[in-house]
Amino acid sequence: MMVVSKSKKMLARNTDDAVKPVADLWFSIEPCDNDIILLRESHIDPYAVGDIWLVRGSKRDLVVDTGSGIVSPAPLVEAVAGKPVTAVALNCYYDHAGGWHNFSDRACHPLDAPNLASPDAEQAAVGDYLNNITLWSLPWEGYRVEDFSMTPAKPTRLVEDGDSFDLGNRTLKILHVPGRSPGGLAIWEAATGSLFTSDMLYDGDHGLAWPPDDPETYCSSLRRMRQLPVNCVYAGHYGTMDRRRMLEVIDEQLADIEQRLSL
Domain boundaries, given as residue ranges, for the chain: 7-262
What Cα–Cα distance (Å) separates residue 236 from each residue in 6, 62, 118, 173, 246? 24, 15, 22, 17, 13
Enter the pTM of the model: 0.92
Say how far apart CA 101 and CA 251 lie, in whole Å. Answer: 35
Helix locations, the chain, DSSP H: 74-81, 94-97, 113-117, 120-125, 215-226, 243-262
Tens digit of each residue's pLDDT, the chain (263 residues):
233 332 322 333 344 446 899 999 999 999 999 999 999 999 999 999 999 999 999 999 999 999 999 999 999 999 999 999 999 999 999 999 999 999 999 999 999 999 999 999 999 999 999 999 999 999 999 999 999 999 999 999 999 999 999 999 999 999 999 998 999 999 999 999 999 999 999 998 766 666 677 889 999 999 999 999 999 999 999 999 999 999 999 999 999 888 888 86
Architecture of domain 7-262: 4-Layer Sandwich (3.60)
